[in-house]
Amino acid sequence: MTTQAAPPPGGADTHPASPTAEQFTAVQQSAEFGELRRSYRSFAFPLTVAFIAWYLLYVLLSNYAGGFMGTKLFGNINVAFALGLAQFATTFLIAWWYSRHAARRLDPQADAIKSHLEAGE
């Protein structure tokens, strides 16, 4: 046996309208959605390519430039260790940067699209 929650006072439904497939298609083809995709891609794709290139450089140097990677910088810290730590730092920096970008640019655009869709526009 299932029970339904009582409607809120005044009988007003607080849930947004459910968009139809046609509305989703219209939003997907809208200029606003195209701008949102462009904003995402112009950030994510170049950084992804740059990070993969940086990672592959590290791997190639590790395999083919052992003498260089073994160069001591200070104490027991060598170039390979410093570049390996830089890989971690780069990962966290990119994640932080993307989070900032999403909060400033992507989320407001997505919220505007969502509001229009839920309003049935």
Per-residue pLDDT of the chain (121 residues; tens, 9 = 90+): 555 555 555 555 566 667 788 888 888 888 998 999 999 999 999 999 999 999 999 999 999 999 999 999 999 999 999 999 999 999 999 999 999 999 999 999 999 988 888 877 6
Torsion of CA 31, 37, 43, 46, to 10 degrees: -110
How far the first Cα of the chain sits from its last, in Å, is: 37
Domain count of the fold of the chain: 1
Name 70's Cβ contacts closer than 8 Å, sequence gap at least 6: 78, 79, 80
- Could you tell me if residue 46 is inside a domain? yes
**Global model pTM greater than 0.75:** no
- Could you tell me if residue 109 is inside a domain? yes
Residue 61 near residue 83 (C-beta atoms within 8 A): yes
- Could you tell me if residue 27 is inside a domain? yes
- Could you tell me if residue 16 is inside a domain? no
